[in-house]
Structure 1
Amino acid sequence: MLPWSTELAGRIEDGIVHSELLRDNPLGDPHDRPVYVYLPPGYDDSDRRYPVVYVIQGYTGHVGMWFNRTPFRRPFPELADDVFRAGDTPPAIVVYVDAWTAYGGSQFLDSPATGRYHSYLCDEVVPWVDARYRTLADRAHRAIMGKSSGGYGAMITPMLRPDLFAALATHAGDALFEVCYPDSFPLIARTLRDEYDGDYANFLAGRAGRVHGTKDSDDGLIEIYGYAAAYSGNADASVSLPFDDTGAIITDVWARWLSRDPVRMAAEPEYAEALRSLTAVWIDSGRSDDYYLDLGATAFRRAIDKAGVADDRVYFELFDGRHGGIEYRYPLSLAWLCARIAS
């Protein structure tokens, strides 16, 4: 496995989306956002139009990280290129979207505490791509995929905007919130007590003056706060935590989180109807996922079955693996989606 990049059969263009929806967002994050657009082999040689797959990232992911290279592994843009190089998969445009925030992520939701990242994706990125590239610009030829928080975004975005997306792939996406999140609440409460006098404001202020990760607790603290900013952000841009200083659940705030759970959303009539309209749903997870998202994947599979999504439109698998190191699964879902949105 070569430790450097190889020549692609297709090509990648990088652009900037000048987002009005993210302008003056509560965190002061940039409203000009990078976007990478993969054009498949043959794009420049014809007037053909192509289906589009939007790729979104997990928590603390930003778009440039798709090109990170680890030992004995290849980054997804190269693996995706291989999908089309052989010519066995219908070609597609692949769009890598950035939704980073100062808290490490947005969950691809509109939140008064972070910004309008769902609307940015749907109402700015999608039209930007359609205006600049030869896309098949309708929902039947548009899919979204991601892993972890990106898998979460891939589940909820077609439910919220079935007019835009007809297919999805979720790899170990956040789901079944009562299983995947609460185990961390007592640890966070204890860490806040012991290191920050029980106050998240002290953590955020201290973190601003040093390099993130110089304290062992940084990642866990910012992750839960980022989720809370997405799921239970308030109109004044404040953030409500779903647990108290003992780690016990605060019922009304937790209910706001649960209302965003893809498993529970699938049971709502409006979202169930949106799910039934999808032509392809890929769900997978490592069966030893560190956050029990294999159980979330199973619950989501059952939820969409109950919602009435036809079995022949669904691929479900639990494979041997954990939460990390599963990028080799993405080309499988990409090829599967492309075969179903191509015509």
Structure 2
Amino acid sequence: MPRLQAFLAVLAALPLLLSTASADGRIESFTLTSMSFEGNLIGVNPERSVRVYLPEGHGRGRQRFPVIYTLHDFFEREGTIFDDHRFGDLLDDAIEEGRMPKAIVVSADFSTPVANSLYTNSPVTGDWRTFMVEELVPAIDRRYRTLAKREARGLLGYHIGGYGAIRFAARHPDVFGSVYALHPVATGIGYVVRVDRPNWQRLQETPSLEDLKGDFMAEIFTSIFQAHTPNPDKPPLFIDQYARMEDGELIFDTVTSRRFYDSFFLEAEIPQFAEALNSLVAFKFDWGRHDPNQDHVVANEYYSKKLRQFGVRHEAEEYQGGWGDKTWDEGGRVETDVFPFFKQHLATE
């Protein structure tokens, strides 16, 4: 009798166990061979790694799913959002509880041998926008049961990935319908002229890219310059700097400074892309009030004001938080704001 009772108890619990297991999605990986990096000058690998979250139900039936493309931060790769930020678990819970529609989520590797591509085409690092729009998106549509239309494609990025999400959306509103940028950087110039970042002398004298390793700011600014003030004729970094050291004095190059401002900061391109941004289904970004770099706070505030000046519909929110906190944790921005945003704006079948 005890054995019979135990067997009956297992049978009674079986539907619940199956339901719990079937609620979870799965994550798979593949490598996409790209043609967008031929001729790059710093050894960017054309074999780009991709991680894909597939919601429960993708492997059966005929249902098609919307797709969210995620963009990572400096010094990260395609797996960071799932391995470190547990995005798959957050998605499982949100989908099971009805806070998110079932969606495919894609994370590709946009890193370079230095730090990051900044999601920008460059003769030094390659054609990252081409890779995204003409290679990655079509590859995902071929491999998976996607709902292949702009209203069903979203962009989600954080920090420099948020910057990239806004850049992609502005240039390709025909491909992406909604964009959410978590605490984006480089939206504007801020209010502090930073002459101490990076070590200008080191950038001038470094013998190789490898020599920059371990210098956080040097790698970040080299990535920025390779994307926005590239110079294929100036090895080993292949950049034009907007400042340099001469006899212990910092000298600014006004021509390169203007080129840098026009290319790098999102506020500078609003007049050019206002109409495209306004054609999006939805556009939102946020930032933490207590970011230790208050330039990010001031820049995002001004960026929102300038968007409004040009009639661009958007949501912008400053919240009680700092750099990188209150994002992936329980009750963080991903749960309270990102998921509801895509539930409201992402088209489903």
Shorter-chain TM-score range = 0.7 to 0.9
Q: How far did residue 174 of structure 1 move?
A: 1.9
C-alpha separation in 1, matches of 2:251 and 2:88: 42
C-alpha separation in 2, matches of 1:156 and 1:234: 22
Distance 1:26 1:321, change over 3 A: same
- Amino acid corresponding to residue 126 of structure 1 in structure 2: V
State the partner residue of 2:34: 19
- Amino acid corresponding to residue 207 of structure 2 in structure 1: N
1:186 aligns with 2:196: yes
Distance 1:87 1:222, change over 3 A: same
Structure 2 SS opposite 1:104: coil
1:293-318 CA distances to partner (integer Å, 9 max, x unpaired)?
222222222232223233xxx33211
C-alpha separation in 1, matches of 2:200 and 2:269: 32
Structure 1 SS opposite 2:252: coil
State the partner residue of 1:35: 50
Correspondence for 1:295 among 291, 298, 310: 298
- Amino acid corresponding to residue 218 of structure 2 in structure 1: L
TM-score by length of 2: 0.83
Structure 2 SS opposite 1:44: coil
C-alpha separation in 2, matches of 1:165 and 1:25: 27
CA RMSD of aligned residues (A): 2.3
Distance 1:35 1:187, change over 3 A: closer
Q: Which runs of 5+ in 2 are unaligned?
A: 1-19
Structure 1 SS opposite 2:59: helix
1:108 aligns with 2:119: yes
Q: How far did residue 199 of structure 1 move?
A: 2.3
1:185-221 CA distances to partner (integer Å, 9 max, x unpaired)?
3342xx454xx4x6243363534xxxx43xxxx1011
Asked if the contact 1:20–1:31 (Cα under 8 Å) also holds between the matched residues in 2, the reply is yes
Q: How far did residue 264 of structure 1 move?
A: 1.8
Asked if the contact 1:110–1:230 (Cα under 8 Å) also holds between the matched residues in 2, the reply is yes
Q: How far did residue 182 of structure 1 move?
A: 4.2
State the partner residue of 2:282: 280
State the partner residue of 1:230: 227
Asked if the contact 1:91–1:338 (Cα under 8 Å) also holds between the matched residues in 2, the reply is no
- Amino acid corresponding to residue 321 of structure 2 in structure 1: G
C-alpha separation in 2, matches of 1:324 and 1:200: 33
Residue correspondence of structure 1 range 213-224 to structure 2 within 5 A: 213=214, 218-224=215-221
Distance 1:249 1:144, change over 3 A: farther
Asked if the contact 2:150–2:173 (Cα under 8 Å) also holds between the matched residues in 1, the reply is yes
State the partner residue of 2:160: 149
Structure 1 SS opposite 2:190: helix
Q: How far did residue 266 of structure 1 move?
A: 1.3
State the partner residue of 1:122: 133
State the partner residue of 1:320: 320
Distance 1:253 1:77, change over 3 A: farther
Correspondence for 1:77 among 67, 88, 103: 88
Structure 1 SS opposite 2:206: helix
Distance 1:160 1:182, change over 3 A: farther
1:14-43 CA distances to partner (integer Å, 9 max, x unpaired)?
111110112442211211111111111222
Q: How far did residue 222 of structure 1 move?
A: 0.9
Q: Percent identity?
A: 27
Q: Which runs of 5+ in 1 are unaligned?
A: 1-5
Asked if the contact 2:42–2:113 (Cα under 8 Å) also holds between the matched residues in 1, the reply is yes
State the partner residue of 1:3: none
1:61-90 CA distances to partner (integer Å, 9 max, x unpaired)?
111222444xxxx52232233221213322
- Amino acid corresponding to residue 272 of structure 1 in structure 2: A
Q: How far did residue 93 of structure 1 move?
A: 1.0
Correspondence for 1:59 among 58, 74, 87: 74
Asked if the contact 1:41–1:85 (Cα under 8 Å) also holds between the matched residues in 2, the reply is no
1:265 aligns with 2:269: yes
- Amino acid corresponding to residue 26 of structure 1 in structure 2: L
What number of residue pairs does the alignment pair up?
315
1:122-173 CA distances to partner (integer Å, 9 max, x unpaired)?
1111111011111111112111111111010011111111211111111121
Asked if the contact 1:151–1:170 (Cα under 8 Å) also holds between the matched residues in 2, the reply is yes
1:161 aligns with 2:163: no
State the partner residue of 1:98: 109
C-alpha separation in 2, matches of 1:112 and 1:250: 21
